[in-house]
Amino acid sequence: MHNTTLVLATSVAAALVAYALKPKKAKTELEAQSKPVPVMPHYLPFQIDAVLGYISGVLSGDDEMEGLRELSLTLGNTMNLRGMNEDYIVVLEPACIQHILAKNQSNYEKGSAFKDIFHEFLGSGIFNADGDIWKSQRQLARPHFQTSEFKDSALINKHVDQLLKVLSKVLSAKPDEAIEVQNLFCRFTMDAASEFLFGENVNSLEHEQSEFSTAFNYAQSISAWRFRVPYWKIFVPKRRLLREIAVLDKFVYNIIDNAIARQEQRIKDGVVPENKIGHDTLLDHFLSYQKENDFSSAYLRDMLLNFLIAGRDTTASLLTWTMWELGQNPEIKEKLVAEIMDQLGPNTVPSYVEIKKLKYQKQVVNEVLRLHPPVPFNMRQSVQEDVLPNGYYVPPKVPVSYSAYITHRMPELWGEDALVFDPERWGPERVGKIRPFMFVPFHAGPRICLGQNFAYTEAQITLTRLLQSYDILAKNGFKPKPTGDIVLFSANGVEVYFKKRSHSEI
């Protein structure tokens, strides 16, 4: 214990000395002509009080996203969360978000800091890549995410069937208890995403504590802490992370080997010609380009885990917060149920085409995405110095982030009722007021999420079938604790009551 404390103290002292001796650079001409970004308040050298206060708040359960939103009310819509004399710029105005994601996208890469944080977990996959590697993966993956790949919704409905069975079983055992839905939805979307991407179901709905799911969750949790802690290589543990990643690797490499063997056998049996391999899954799709690209197993492993993190978490987050909002807003829930019954009735298993009839449901989903965007914070890194559209200076090689969570709650954009859950914002009378880059739950620009249509479809089909079968009621006194991790979840989950719906009630 004493040795560990000594090592940490020595490391911090060495870092402070290094910063103290670091020569100050003269201002460039561009910097001299621009405004400095307002810095988070601090009183001690190297912003130690601000850094420790932030970490302490997260550990004690403070709502870090709301804390940042409140800080923006003081500092403004561009702020510098500097810690240990390292800049960390956050932009909130739509014009600035558009600048870094689209207009000057080439100057804002994922960058070395982001890649460092995720390297062991995500390797060189699409979310951790820049330049030609990113372009190649995106170009190859795009066709698999076209609407035609999943419009019959058979795979989604298959997993909703299993979700409803598990929910019914839980309610049979505990009919009068509230259900924690976040864990349930994470397991559901893990199964659907793994089959869509890999062609193999990890069966986490059936086996809640599967090795794969446990390893996946731990890798995400540690990655989130690396974002928060300066000098994370010293302070954030790594030994267990490597063990859990080994579990992921074993599982994914086995799937890859099986898929390659399956493809080779299909060609050998003459089921498909060598130059036209089928691609029912994303893995099959990439393997159909194997001959000309010579993808390594490591490349395929990185690609699959990158898409899995998006395919599971975004929809699980969306469904979780939808349950919360419907419990809190019974009049909105009843209007939503009325639309489902009018358009589809109580028993129709919805297809992709039928979901499109549910206009009010889409408004509800968009409003959930506005107040509870699945990725609340997204980081880039500047390549060269730059000036934002609002006149603030961005140095080279510094993290520059935008927060969908805060932008989606800004009164100057959404009105004085910006914190109110109101699906009518998305109705035909008001939707025209929503300008580009005001609403970015799936990012925007060239790196906009490839799977957003799949996420909408999966969420809407699931929501429809849940409401066909159950009424959703709030648990009095329960309050979720949002976390600012990679994905916006609740630290204590979300608990609601499910009451079996009698169709004579409708």
**Known binding residues for heme:** 449
Return the closest-CA partner of residue 404 out of 457, 448, 364, 454.
Answer: 448
* Rounded-to-integer distance, Cα 282 and Cα 286, Å: 6
Strand 393-394 to strand 399-402: parallel, antiparallel, or no bridges (unpaired)?
Answer: unpaired
The H-or-E segment that residue 472 falls in is: strand 470-474
Binding positions are 449
The H-or-E segment that residue 498 falls in is: strand 495-500
Q: Token match 């996203």: residue?
A: 65
* Rounded-to-integer distance, Cα 144 and Cα 378, Å: 25
Return the closest-CA partner of residue 393 out of 128, 130, 87, 115.
Answer: 87
- Strands laid side by side in the 378-382 sheet: 78-80, 89-91, 399-402, 378-382, 108-109
* Rounded-to-integer distance, Cα 491 and Cα 23, Å: 42
Return the closest-CA partner of residue 196 out of 164, 166, 152.
Answer: 152
* Rounded-to-integer distance, Cα 330 and Cα 49, Å: 44
Return the closest-CA partner of residue 447 out of 92, 100, 90.
Answer: 100
